[in-house]
Amino acid sequence: MKTIIIRTASNYMLPLLLVFSVFILLRGHYLPGGGFVGGLIASIAFVLHAFANGLGDTRKLLHFHPGFLMPTGLALAFLSGISPLVFTGEPFMTGLWYPEHLPIVGNLGSALFFDIGVYLVVQGVTLTIIFTISEST
Amino acid sequence: MEILLAIIIGTLYASGIYMILRRSLVKLIIGIILLGNGANLLIFLLGRIAKGAPPIIPEESNVFLDAYSDPLPQALILTAIVISFGLQSFAIVLVKRAHKVVKTDDLDEMNATDEYS
Amino acid sequence: MLTAILSGFIFSVFLVFAGKFLKGKLAVLSALVPLALFVYFLSFLPQVAGGEVIRQEISWVPTLGLDLNFALDGLSLLFSLLITGIGFLVFAYTAEYLKEHDYLDRFYGYLGMFMGAMLGLVLSDNLLSMFIFWELTSISSFFLIGFNNTSEASRKSAVLALAITGSGGFLLLAGALLLGNVAGTFNISEMLALSPEIISSEYYIWIVILLFGAAFTKSAQFPFHFWLPGAMKAPTPVSTYLHSATMVKAGIYLLLRFTPVLGGEDIWNTTLISVGGITMFYAAVHTLFRTDLKGVLAYSTISVLGLLVFLIGLGTQYALTAAAVYIVVHALYKATLFLITGIIDHETGTRDVTRLSGLRKVMMPVAVAGFLAALSSAGMPPFVGFIGKDLVYESTLHMGSWSIFLTVLAIATNILVLYAGFVAGIKPFTGKLPNEHKKVHLPGMLMWLPPVILALLGIIIGIFPEIINDSIIAPVVNSVGLEGNEVHLKLWHGFNLVLGLSAITLAVGILLYVIFKPSAKKERGIARLDFIAPLTLITNFGHGFKVFSNWWTRIFQNGFLRNYVSTIILFLVVLVGYSLFSDQNEIPIDLSSFSRMTYYEMIIMGIMFLAILFVVGARSRLTAVVAMGVVGYAICLMFVIYSAPDLAMTQFSIDTLTVILFVLVLSSLPKYLSISDYRMKVVDGVLSISFGILITLISLEVLGEPVNKEISNFYADNAYVLAKGKNVVNVILVDFRGVDTLMEISVLTIAALGVFSLLKLRLRRDDRELKD
C-alpha cells in the first residue's frame, strides 16, 4: 500500500482529518458529533498515516506512546466532573458554564472539557489497540 | 418498514448464535460481532424509529417544535458501539494468544481447565 | 453487659498480637478473664433472685428488627455462671494441660471466642442476635474440635460437628424468621405476652419443628447425637467445657427459653418426652459398650441431655425444677469426670478403662475428686446428684397414666448413668496398680485442683441445697414461666416411694458395676450394629450426594463452549416460546402503525441480508470479514435514514476500524476451518433460526405495546434549558449521564490495557523462558 500517491495524500490528509475531528468534537453539543466520533476520526487519521508511511513514521510524528492519551483523557474528564464540587460546592458532574457566548464553541462549560476527555481516551484506546496489534504481527 | 427491520434483527441474532456454535475460534469472534450488531439494532427499533427527525433542537429555538426521534436509545447504542470495539479487539487478541499457546483452532479441544504455559 | 460478652472476643483478638508472650508460665493469667466475668455475673445474683430482669438495649440494624438487646434473668444467669465459672477452671487447667503446646495462644483464642459467643447466646433477648451467637458457638467449636489439625480423624469430626450443628443453626434461622413474622417482633421478652397468638397461628407447628431441629442437633439428641462422641477427638479441656458443661446445653437453653412462649401444647410435650426418652435410654445403653473413658463420658452426657429434654417435655413445676437442678448437677460432676480423664490421659497416655486401675496410689487428690463425682452422678446422698434424681422421680411419678412407664425408663437410665460415672470416676483408681503405670505421678496443681473444687462443690451444695435454691433455681423456674416456688430443695424428705426408688437405683447400679466389665470384645460386638446407626446412614447419604453432584456437574460443566451456549439458547427458546404461544391472545401486530416501506430501504435490507448470508457461508476469512464490513455499513445507512446521525458517524468509524483491525491480524489468525459435520450444522441451524424467529416475534410484539417516553422527553425538554446543548444525544452522554460515560471510557481503557498486556507482557515472559 505504500504507493507514492497514498503517501503524499496521507501527509495532507492527516492534518485535515485532525482539524476535522476537532471540529466534530467542538460542535458536538449542538450538531451531530462529539468526543466519541471525534476521537474515532482522529485515530482513523493516524491509522491511515501509518498505513501509508509505516508505523515507525507515525510513532515519530506522535512523539509519545498513544497509551498516554488514556490517563490524560480520564483525568481531564474526572477533573471536569469534580470541578463543581471545588468551585461552587454543587454535586459531582453538575454542569458549570462560562456566561459569555464564544464563536464556534458556543457556550464554554465543564461538559466541553468532559467531551475533550472522552475524545482523548477514545483516541488513546483505539491507537493503542491497533498499534499494539500491528506491531506484534 | 419495522417488520423488515425486525426480520433483519432476527437474522443477525440467528447468524450470530450459529457462528458461536461453530468449533472454529475465528467464527466465534464473528458471531459475537454479529450478535452485538443485532442487539444494537434491537434497542434502536424498540425505541421506535422515525424518519427525518434527528434529536437535535433547531437553531432558532430552545425546545423541540416538531416530533423528534428518541435520543435515549441512541445514546445507549453509541456507547455500546464503542464498547463493542473494545470487546472485539480484546477477543481477537485473546484468540490470537490462545491459538499460539494451545496450538489449536478447535474449541472442542480447549475444554480442559489445566494451565497451558 | 455488652462489654462482658465482647470481652471474650476482645481477649481472642488481643491474643493474635500478644499470644507469644502469654505462653508458658504466664498462660494461667488468661484464666483471669473468665474469673472476672464470673465475679461480675455473681454480683447480679441478689437482684435477679429478687425477680428483677437486667436489660441493656443497643440499636444495631433497626430496619431488620435486629437489635443487640440483652436480658439477664434467672435462666440466663444460671448459664452465665456456668459458662464463666467452669470457663475459669478450664482456662486454668489448660495452662497446665497444654503447657508444651506450640499453639497454646491459639487455643486460648478459640476458647475466649467461644466463651463470648456462648455468653451472647444466653444473654440475647433478640432472636436474630441469638442466632448469630448460636452460629458463632458452632464455628468456634469447629476450631476447637479440629484443634489437632494434623490428625485426619480430628478434622473429620470437626467437619461432622460443624455440618450437624450448622444445619441446626440454619433451622434456627428459619424458625426465628417465622416466629418473628408471626409475633411481629424479634424480642423474646415481647413474645411472652403474645404466646396465645403464636400458639394459635397456623405456622405454630413449623416454628416448633424448626426450633426442635436446632435444639436437637445442638444438644445431640437422637438421631443427631453422633457428632458428640466424634467431637471427643478434641483436647480434653474442650470436651469438658463445650461438650459437657456449656455448648451442648445451648439446645436445652433454647427449649427452656421458649417453654413459656411455645410450650404447653401436646406436640411440644409429646415430642420432647419421646425424643428425650429415646435419647437418654439409647445413649445410656451405649455406655456399657465403650472402653474409651471419653467415649463412656460422651454417651453418658448424651444420656443426661436426653433426660433434660425429657424433663422439659414433662413441663411440670417439679420437672422444670429438676431440669434446672440437673443442669447444675451435671455440669459439676461431668466436668469433674472429664477433667480427671484428661489428667489420666495426660499422665498415663491411655484412656482405655480396661488398662487402668489402682491409680489412687499415685494421684490421691484426683482419686478423691473422681470418687466424689462418681457418687454425685450416682445420686448417692448427701450429694447434689441425689437431690436431682429425687426431683426426677418425683416428676415422673406425677405424670398420670404414663407415670409407671416413664419412671421405669428414668430408673433404667439412671442405673446406666451411675454405671458410667463409676467406670470413669472409680474404676481407674481402684484395684491393683499395673506395673506400666508405676512411674505415673501427680500433675501440677493447676490440673488437679479444678476437678477437686468442682467435686467439693457437688457435696457442699448437696448438704446445703439452700445455697442455690432461692438464688438460682427458683429464678430459673420463674423465668421459664411458672409462678411461685412450691418446690424446695431438700436432702431428706423422709421415707417415701421416691427414696425407695433411689435405693433401687443405687443397688442395681452398683451391682451392675461390679458384675459387668467393659471389654474390647463387647465394644466390637456393638460395632456390628453400626450399619443401621444414624452416623452410617448420614455418611452414606453424604457419599451418595457427592457422587450424584459429581455426575450432575459433569453433565452440565463438560468444558465444551458449544454445549453451554446451546443449552442456554435451547432453554430460552423453549421457555420464552412456550409463554409466548401459550398466551391465547394473538400477537398484536399493527401493520398500519408501521412506517411505509420505500424501495431504497428494501434495497439496503436486501444487501444486508445477503451480506449476512455471505458471512455465515464464507469459506475464507477474508470473505467473511469483508461481508462483515458490508453489514456494518448497511447498519450505518439505516441509522442515517432513521434520523440518528451520531450513530451513523460512530458506526461508520468503528466499522472502518474493525475491518482494519481484522486485516491487520488476519495473517496471524488461525485458518478458517470447517470442522463440524453436516448433522451438527443442521441441528445448530435449526436452533439458531428458531432463536432468531423468537427475537423477531418478541420485537414485533413489543412494538405493538404502548411506549413510555417520559425519560426521553425529560432529556429532550431540558437539554438546552439545563445543559445548554442542542444535540440531545451528546448532552445525555456528556451531561445527564456523564458518570456512565466516565465509567465507559474507564472500561475502554481497561480493554486497551488488556490488549496491550496480553501481547506485550506475555511475549516478554516467553522470551525470558526461552532464554532459561
Q: What is the pLDDT along chain B (117 residues), one digit of tens a residue?
A: 788 899 999 999 999 999 998 888 888 889 999 999 999 999 999 888 888 788 888 877 777 777 788 888 999 999 999 999 999 889 888 888 888 777 777 777 776 655 444
Do residues C657 and A42 make contact, with C-beta atoms less than 8 angstroms apart? no
CB spacing of B54 vs C654 below 8 angstroms? no
User: What pLDDT is recorded for position C365?
Assistant: 83
Q: Is A100 exposed, middle or buried (0-12, 13-18, 19+ CB in 10 A)?
A: exposed
In the predicted model, residues of chain C with pLDDT beneath 50 are 771-772
Among A97, A101, A112, A129, pick the best mutation site for testing chain C contact (most C Cβ within 10 A).
Answer: A129
DSSP one-letter code for C124 = B
Main-chain phi, psi angles of C675, to 5 degrees = -95, -35
> Do C669 and B82 lie within an 8 Å CB cutoff?
no
Question: What pTM value is reported for the model?
Answer: 0.65
Does residue B115 form part of some domain? no
| Domain presence at residue B59 | no
Q: Looking at residues A41-50, what average pLDDT do you find?
A: 90
For C397, residues 6+ apart whose C-beta sits below 8 A from its C-beta are C403, C407, C497, C498
Q: Tell me the residue length of chain B.
A: 117
Distance of alpha carbon A8 from alpha carbon C528, whole angstroms: 96
Taking only Cα atoms into account, the Rg of chain B, rounded to an integer number of angstroms, comes to 20
Interface of C with A (CB under 8 A): 645-646, 649-650, 653-654, 656-657, 660-661, 664-665, 667-668, 722-727, 729-731, 733-735, 738-739, 741-742, 745-746, 748-749, 751-753, 755-756, 759-760, 763
Q: Are C422 and C378 in contact (CB under 8 A)?
A: yes
Could you tell me which residues are beta bridge partners of residue C57?
Answer: C69
Facing residue for C752 by CB, picked from A37, A109, A129: A129
Report the chain C residue with the minimal C-alpha distance to residue B57.
Answer: C726
Residues in B closer than 8 angstroms to A43, CB to CB, are: none
Length of chain C, please? 772
Specify the 3-state DSSP secondary structure of C356. coil
C220: left (phi over 0), alpha (psi -120 to 50) or beta: left
CA distance C712 to chain A (A): 17
Chains that touch A (3 or more CB pairs under 8 A): B, C
Q: In this complex, do C643 and B15 lie within 8 Å of one another by their Cβ atoms?
A: no
CB contact under 8 A, A129 and B56: no
Q: What angle do CA B25, B26, B27 make, to 5 degrees?
A: 90
**What 3-state class would DSSP assign to A1?**
coil
Determine, for residues A115 and C763 on separate chains, whether the beta-carbon distance falls below 8 Å: no
Location of C-alpha cell 501481547? C759
Q: Do A36 and B56 touch (CB under 8 A)?
A: no
Residues of chain A numbered 83-102 and touching chain C (CB < 8 Å): 92-93, 95, 97
Residues in a beta bridge with A102? A106
Nearest partner of C292 among C359, C344, C363, C226, judged by Cα: C344
Q: How high is the pLDDT of residue C529?
A: 67
Q: Which pairs from C707-710 meet CB under 8 Å and 24+ separation? A: C707/B47, C707/B48, C709/B70
Give the model's pLDDT for residue C687. Answer: 92
Stretch (H or E) spanning C59: strand C54-61
Closest-CA residue to A41 (of A63, A60, A13, A62):
A13
DSSP conformational letter for C733: I
The dihedral formed by the CA atoms of C141, C144, C147 and C152, expressed in degrees to the nearest 10: -30
φ, ψ of residue B24 to 5 degrees: the values are: -85, 140
B114 CB-near residues (< 8 Å, 6+ apart): none
**Residue C477 CB contacts under 8 Å (≥ 6 apart), including other chains:** C74, C317, C320, C321, C324, C485, C487
Task: Tell me if B114 is assigned to some domain.
Answer: no
DSSP-based three-state secondary structure for C419: helix
The larger pLDDT score, comparing residue A135 to residue A126, is at A126
Q: Assign residue A98 a region: left if phi > 0, alpha if psi is -120 to 50, beta otherwise?
A: beta
State the Cα–Cα distance between residues C517 and C507, nearest whole angstrom.
17
Among C554, C343, C315, smallest CA distance to C454 is for C343
Assess C699–B contact: CB distance below 8 Å, yes or no.
yes
Q: Closest CB to B17: pick one of C635, C691, C721.
A: C691
**Is the ipTM of this structure higher than 0.90?**
yes
* CB contact A124 to C (< 8 Å): yes
Q: Is A52 an interface residue toward B (CB < 8 Å)?
A: no
Q: Tell me which residue in B59, B86, B92 faces A125 most closely, judged by beta carbons.
A: B86
Cα C454 to chain centroid distance, Å, stands at: 32
Q: Is residue B61 part of a domain?
A: no
Q: Choose among C558, C671, C752: nearest Cβ to B105.
A: C671
Provide Rg for chain A, Cα atoms: 17
CA B4 to each of CA B111, C415, C630, C636, C700: distance values in angstroms, whole numbers, following the listed order: 39, 90, 18, 16, 10
Contact A31 B92 (CB under 8 A): no
CA angle C695, C697, C702 (to 5 degrees): 95
Closest CA to B112 of C675, C561, C671: C561
* Low-confidence winner among A36-50, A90-104, C529-543 (lowest mean pLDDT): A90-104
CA Rg value for chain C: 37
The answer as to whether B62 is a domain residue is: no
Residue B57's alpha-carbon distances to A78, A95, C343, C644, in angstroms, are 28, 19, 91, 13
User: A99, exposed or middle or buried, with CB in 10 Å at 0-12, 13-18, 19+?
Assistant: exposed
pLDDT given at position B117: 42
For B52: left if phi > 0, alpha if psi spans -120 to 50, otherwise beta; the answer is: left
Is-contact C428 C356, C-beta < 8 A?
A: yes
In residues, how long is chain A? 137
- Residues of the domain holding B79: 2-52+68-109
Give the model's pLDDT for residue C148. Answer: 81
Overall domain count for chain B: 1
C669, C745, C756: best mutation site toward chain A, by most A Cβ within 10 Å? C745
Instruction: Please state, in angstroms and rounded to a whole number, the distance separating the CA atoms of residues C252 and C247.
Output: 10
Residue B11 lies in a domain: yes
CATH at residue B102: 1.10.287.3510
Alpha-carbon gap, residue B45 to A115, rounded angstroms: 27
Task: State which amino acid sits at residue C295.
Answer: G
> Could you tell me if A43 lies within 8 Å of chain B, comparing CB atoms?
no
Within-domain flag for B42: yes
8 Å CB contact of B37 and C661:
no
Residue B63 lies in a domain: no
In this complex, the residue of B56, B79, B89 whose CB is nearest that of residue A129 is B89
Judge: B37–C716 Cβ closer than 8 Å, yes or no: no
